[in-house]
Amino acid sequence: MNIRLKTPAQIKKLKKAGRVVAEVLDLISENVRPGVTTKKLDDLAAAHFKKRNARAAFLGYQGFPAHICVSIDDEVVHGIPSDRRLEEGQIVSVDVGSIVDGYYGDSARSFAVGGITNGAGKLLEATREALNRGIEACVIGNRLGDLSAAIQRYAESRGFSVVRDLVGHGIGTRMHEEPQVPNFGEPGTGIELEEGLVLAIEPMINAGKYEVRMLSDGWTIVTDDGSLSAHFEHTVAITSNGPEILTLR
């Protein structure tokens, strides 16, 4: 495996890219409401990237046609912004990637559109907390499987399921670097977590079964059983002071 550990100077650059991602997500959180089109959210993101002299990492990535991914309800990830309008009661997952001076940031959040059901609220809360549990396991000497298992254990303890077909990843001067970071696994297995390892940790948690499939647009991943899905992601550096979240303001 070709894992590229990052120096403190490189982590600083990743933090700059991460900050822009956090700004875009904050901007989107202020604009998620019933009636807004997902294209409008994409336009807001595009304008902010421009203002900050950053590039949208997803635009053109393997041909992806927009600046951000916007996935509604049973859509897990990779939804394409369009003229579709958000509706009261939906949950919407927004994934944002940036490039600043050649360094990448990657983060995602799921939002409630207006009032949502208790069940949907619990899914959002559980997915956010599953990410926290994964981040807490980002300690030198732990193994990757400890991180994966922490996410899985928490999500399943809340009665939800963990998507298997999509995983997190190392990140740096490319969006996807080694290693892959599954959201399920066995404690005590996998590579040892070392200082300078930077990971995009991104649990995708389903209210129903874990199976997913792709829509005919060739991008959008949906739950196979039509159940709701949520997605939270941070870019995290493993340091001698513990985990450092890079996708914050």
Binding mask 68-97 for Mg ion (x = CB under 5 A): ---------------------------x--
Nearest-approach distance from CB 115 to Mg ion, in angstroms: 27
Helices (H), 100-192: 118-136, 144-157
**Cis bond upstream, residue 179 (ω within 30):** yes
Give the number of other CB atoms < 10 A from CB of residue 185. Answer: 21
Nearer to Mg ion, 34 or 49 (CB): 49
Site stretch for Mg ion (CB under 5 A), options 44-52, 109-117, 142-150, 197-205: 197-205
By CB under 5 A, tell whether 106 contacts Mg ion: yes
Nearest-approach distance from CB 90 to Mg ion, in angstroms: 20
Window 209-238: residues binding Mg ion (CB under 5 A): 233
Nearest-approach distance from CB 215 to Mg ion, in angstroms: 19
| Residue 75 to residue 213: CA distance in whole angstroms | 10
- Residue of 237, 239, 231, 240 lying closest to 107 (CA atoms): 231
Q: Which helix (H) or strand (E) holds 244?
A: strand 242-245
Q: What angle do CA 18, 22, 23 make, to 5 degrees?
A: 115
Nearest-approach distance from CB 176 to Mg ion, in angstroms: 8
Nearest-approach distance from CB 231 to Mg ion, in angstroms: 8
Q: Which of 44, 197, 200, 221 binds Mg ion (CB under 5 A)?
A: 200
By CB under 5 A, tell whether 177 contacts Mg ion: no
Q: Which helix (H) or strand (E) holds 212?
A: strand 212-214
Beta bridge partners of 139: none
Beta bridge partners of 168: 181
Nearer to Mg ion, 71 or 239 (CB): 71
Nearer to Mg ion, 71 or 142 (CB): 71
* Residues of this chain that bind Mg ion (CB under 5 A): 95, 106, 108, 200, 202, 233
